[in-house]
Amino acid sequence: MGISMLIWALSLCVRYIFRLKVIEEAPLFLDGEELRSRVLEAPDKLLPYVFVRGVVVPHEDILCLEADISINGVLMRATVTETIATHLQGWRISRRRSVRWIYSSAVPFLLRYDGHVIRVVKAEEADQLALPAVKFVRRLNEHSTSGLWMGLLRRLATVVEVHEEMVRAGAYVTVGGEVTVADDGSLLIGPSADWLPMILTGLTKAQLVLRGQRQIVQDSLYAKLTFAATVIFCAFAYAVTDLLM
């Protein structure tokens, strides 16, 4: 168990180091003409991985929240959460867990920057981090039960909620992905064919790099603690085995 946890922790470190290296080396284009010229000059008219930051502009279709159709946008995601609260003689203990992921859906939208636009496709496949989204919570179900537990009055209250998020027009986002040229000559940015992570976030590239560095520090610390725990466990198991023999 300890060795498997150590391998898992080390794999996380390697993953985040690779991810951070990709983000740091990817160019950030703020000039629309420069990006277009670079794409047209590239082999197969394709840039494997770049970053573009701009304002969200709806392209053709829009999405609407089921609970409030007046709230619309280009990307929507939702989760169902279940909160169970236990009341025991005046004491309250609650826990929340995610029941299941409902959906993450998006429609193609435009990103306006420096007077130019680029079309963002398959945004639902991107790693969505710190999105500038409107949040909405609606309650699906609520029920409670009461009874005796070891002679004490206990009441269980369960609440099921849907947490929805919508990225609306006018939001500033940063998109990292593969840039190609569409048949009509417009630029597209979407998931990379080289298994590089497409990123959609409200953070700037600098903030994204800083976040990645912090994640690596946390994971490396976790790996070190896991390694120490594994060594202690193995030493203890060896001592017990030697004692029994």
111-127 pLDDT, tens per residue? 999 889 999 999 988 98
Run of H or E residues at 244: helix 205-244
Instruction: Give one DSSP letter per residue of 148-213, joined into a string.
Output: EETTEEEEEEEEEEEEEEEEPTT-EEEEEEEEEE-TTS-EEEE--TTSPPPEEESS-HHHHHHHHH
Closest C-alpha among 115, 120, 238, 109 to residue 178: 120
Summary mean pLDDT of the chain: 80
Cα–Cα distance, 236 to 175 (Å, whole number): 50
145-161 pLDDT, tens per residue? 776 666 566 677 788 88
Q: What is the pLDDT of residue 151?
A: 59
| Sign of the CA dihedral with 58 first, then 208, 36, and 31 last | positive
Q: What is the mean pLDDT of residues 73-84?
A: 84
Number of Cβ within 10 Å of residue 18's Cβ equals 12
207-233 pLDDT, tens per residue? 988 887 776 556 555 555 555 566 566
Q: First and final CA of the chain: distance in angstroms?
A: 23
Buried b / exposed e over 182-203, threshold 16 CB at 10 Å, is eeeeebbbbbbeeebbbbbbbb
What DSSP state is assigned to residue 127?
A: E
Backbone dihedral region for residue 122 (phi beyond 0: left; psi -120 to 50: alpha; all else: beta)? left
CA distances from 179 to 153, 185, 198 (A): 62, 12, 11
**From 28-37, 72-81, 155-164, 231-240, the region with the lowest mean pLDDT:** 231-240
176-212 pLDDT, tens per residue? 999 999 999 999 999 988 778 899 999 999 998 888 7
**pTM of this prediction?**
0.75
What DSSP state is assigned to residue 115?
A: T
Q: What is the pLDDT of residue 242?
A: 62
Cα–Cα distance, 115 to 133 (Å, whole number): 24
